[in-house]
Amino acid sequence: MLTRRLVLVLGDQLSLQLASLQGLDSERDQVLLAEVMEEASHVPHHPKKIALILSAMRHFAEQLRGRGIRVQYVQLDDPHNSGSLHAELMRWTQRLNPQEIHICECGDWRLEQSLRHCGLAIHWHADSRFLCSRDGFALWAKGRKQLRMEFFYREMRKLSGLLLNPDGSPEGGAWNFDADNRKALPNGIRPPAPLYIEPDAITRDVLALVGQRFSDHYGKLDGFDYPVTAEQAERLWQHFLASGLADFGDYQDAMADGEPYLFHSRISAALNIGLLDLRQLCEDVEAAYREGRVPLNAAEGFIRQLIGWREYVRGIYWLCMPDYAEGNVFGNTRALPEFYWTGQTRMNCMRQAIGQTLEHAYAHHIQRLMVTGNFALLAGIAPKAICDWYLAVYMDAFDWVELPNTLGMVMHADGGYLGSKPYCASGQYIKRMSNHCQGCSYKVSESTGESACPFNALYWHFLMRHRERLERNPRLGMVYRNLARMDDVKRRALWDWGEHLLARLDAGQTL
Ligand code: FAD
Ligand code: DLZ
Ligand code: SF4
């Protein structure tokens, strides 16, 4: 039968609302989904992440078929599988000879380029899952000397109408309640138990396949409990609304031994692959606040992450790629230490963050920013090496969101385009926000010597080696004044110990 339209749907586009899936004719149109090695192995993705994508793709194909839509589905172990999405698109185009090919814009510049240049005429659709389009962001950014998330966020609040008073002013009299969201976890407060979702037969098949094919990738496959359908994702979301959101604001930046999730939602992966709808999430959060179920600092804080940070980093990605990926203003060249892949380090904070990453393909924001990210910044790891690590190990990692967060927010490798200052910190920050230092074999109160917390000397070493670039940054003025007040002997000792730690990393030793 003649094919009118062939629609390629990618593994992170599993939404019935996708622009390219509107107006399908069940007689004449077909949807193509393909499991391919290139997407699973261009970085060594965590096995749980590969399982999530493949299982969610298979469930989505079933959902489409249930609606009468014709689906061509290529499994990873199909002997005809050509291994890449552009090659699969070419193969199916030759086979079906469609009049039109439709695709929704991708979340990765690399992949979009390969599809745009595969020699086929493609109808491209904007990704309407986001509030702000690529062009909309470019328009907002045009002519601005400096981009700042806070100003973009206010525009998004106005555009969406979220948490606004009838006169257009922000609910509660301020746009941002972040200052209330920096509490450490007090003794006796227990985070909610995480929701467990039992793998069904489709997921179990995928887990077996991933176990066979990707046993050489770092990360644990056992204990897979993530949502793989929109219905399961909704259960996870309702669980968070009922048990996590009220405390989300207060403890957003807290960390604790053996507590991988605290009051975080765990929805990022489901949202990024299309199982949840951004606008609905925001409306649910606003309703929870308006009905008195959660305080304003929690509701505003959560909405800011979704319509502020998430949309802002995507805007920057598409505005600045491909050059953005090359950013390296500090000229870092150091290799990623092996312990990022194994968790074998004496630094308890790093062991906790990397350990749960290997176990769950998850770490919450402050662990990514202030522990594993902060260490990479202080240690001068090459941006590409640390970006590839984040892209590989997190369940929710796709280039559009991972790259600006890592290269821009964490590594400051874009020279401050995304954020005004590097989030560098000594061990004192980790001590204030967690109980990690109590169970650590290093002493956070010491800065040099074998028992000293490595974050301390590395912090001062970072500030000293990049003094020229950073000293005039007004947000680092106080820090540089402290450094200037330090006596020469102490400064020298910190520099020397920092050099010693970096030399140990270069020699392939753990810390
Ligand atoms: P919650 O703490 O419950 O937050 C709610 C939601 O807000 C998240 O689900 C997410 O959708 C959104 N959000 C929060 N912060 C950000 C942010 N900075 N950028 C974009 N969205 C945000 N998030 C990803 O989705 N994919 C990534 O690849 C990714 N890489 C990151 C790399 C680094 C170095 C850093 C510092 C942050 C990264 N983030 C990434 C942002 C953030 O850490 C995760 O979104 C969050 O930890 C996911 O867990 P959660 O769903 O429990 O989030
Ligand atoms: C991440 C991923 C993986 C592991 N596998 C597939 C796949 O087999 N087929 C597919 O269509 N998509 C996959 N993806 C998601 C893509 O990598 C994603 O669409 C791009 O990175 C853009 O975000
Ligand atoms: Fe981390 Fe340093 Fe604290 Fe150990 S002492 S947990 S290395 S901050």
Mean pLDDT, range 207-212, rounded to an integer? 97
10 lines ligand 2 (CB under 6 A): yes
CA atoms within 13 A on the CB side of 451: 4
Q: Which ligand is nearest to the CA of 440?
A: 3
Q: pLDDT tens across 43-95, in order?
A: 999 999 999 999 999 999 999 999 999 999 999 999 999 999 999 999 999 99
Burial class (CB in 10 A: 0-12, 13-18, 19+), 6: buried
Question: Who wins on pLDDT, 233 or 186?
Answer: 233
* Residue nearest (by alpha carbon) to ligand 1 atom 15: 305
Q: Which ligand is nearest to the CA of 393?
A: 1
The number of beta carbons lying within 10 Å of the beta carbon of residue 484 is 9
- Overall residue count recorded for the chain in this entry: 511
* Residue nearest (by alpha carbon) to ligand 3 atom 1: 349
Burial class (CB in 10 A: 0-12, 13-18, 19+), 333: exposed
* Residue nearest (by alpha carbon) to ligand 1 atom 10: 268
Atom of ligand 2 nearest to the CA of 40: 4
- C-alpha distances (whole Å) from 13 to each of 21, 184, 190 are 10, 37, 35
Residue 489 CA to residue 481 CA, distance in Å, equals 17
What's at 511, amino acid-wise? L
DSSP class of 492: H
123-125: strand order across its sheet: 70-74, 29-34, 5-8, 100-104, 123-125
Q: Which ligand is nearest to the CA of 273?
A: 2
Q: Which two tokens stand for residue 189?
A: 């407060």
Atom of ligand 2 nearest to the CA of 76: 8
pLDDT above 90 for 181: no
Atom of ligand 1 nearest to the CA of 398: 28
**The residue to which tokens 């598409």 are assigned:** 318
Q: pLDDT tens across 44-58, in order?
A: 999 999 999 999 999
Q: Which ligand is nearest to the CA of 34?
A: 2
Atom of ligand 2 nearest to the CA of 400: 23
Could you tell me the distance, in angstroms and rounded to a whole number, from the CA of residue 343 to the centre of ligand 3? 14
Q: For residues 472 and 445, is the Cβ–Cβ distance under 8 A? A: no
Choose one of 255, 431, 459 to mutate for the ligand 3 pocket test, by most ligand atoms within 8 angstroms of C-beta.
431
* Predicted local distance difference test score (pLDDT) of residue 75: 98
In the structure, which protein residues have their CB atom closer than 6 angstroms to any atom of ligand 1?
A: 264-268, 271-272, 302, 305-306, 309-310, 313, 364-365, 368-369, 373, 390, 394, 396-397, 401-402, 405-406, 409-410
Q: pLDDT tens across 394-421, in order?
A: 999 999 999 999 999 999 999 999 998 9
* Predicted local distance difference test score (pLDDT) of residue 2: 85
Atom of ligand 3 nearest to the CA of 439: 6
Mean pLDDT, range 211-221, rounded to an integer? 96
CA 48 and chain centroid, separation:
15
Atom of ligand 3 nearest to the CA of 455: 2
Dihedral over alpha carbons 186, 355, 309, 431 (to 10 degrees) = 40
pLDDT above 80 for 1: no
Atom of ligand 2 nearest to the CA of 108: 22
* Residue nearest (by alpha carbon) to ligand 2 atom 9: 35
Choose one of 429, 442, 443 to mutate for the ligand 3 pocket test, by most ligand atoms within 8 angstroms of C-beta.
442
* Predicted local distance difference test score (pLDDT) of residue 317: 98
Mean pLDDT, range 470-493, rounded to an integer? 95
Could you tell me the distance, in angstroms and rounded to a whole number, from the CA of residue 13 to the centre of ligand 2? 9
pLDDT above 80 for 4: yes
CA 265 and chain centroid, separation:
13
Could you tell me the distance, in angstroms and rounded to a whole number, from the CA of residue 355 to the centre of ligand 1? 18
Residue 185 CA to residue 435 CA, distance in Å, equals 9
Name the pTM for this structure: 0.97
Q: pLDDT tens across 298-332, in order?
A: 999 999 999 999 999 999 999 999 999 999 999 99
Q: pLDDT tens across 446-477, in order?
A: 999 999 999 999 999 999 999 999 999 999 99
Could you tell me the distance, in angstroms and rounded to a whole number, from the CA of residue 365 to the centre of ligand 1? 6
Q: Which two tokens stand for residue 422?
A: 């590097």
14 lines ligand 2 (CB under 6 A): no
Domains with residue ranges and CATH for the chain: 5-125 (3.40.50.620), 134-192+244-319 (1.25.40.80), 339-506 (1.10.579.10)
Average model confidence (pLDDT) across the chain: 96
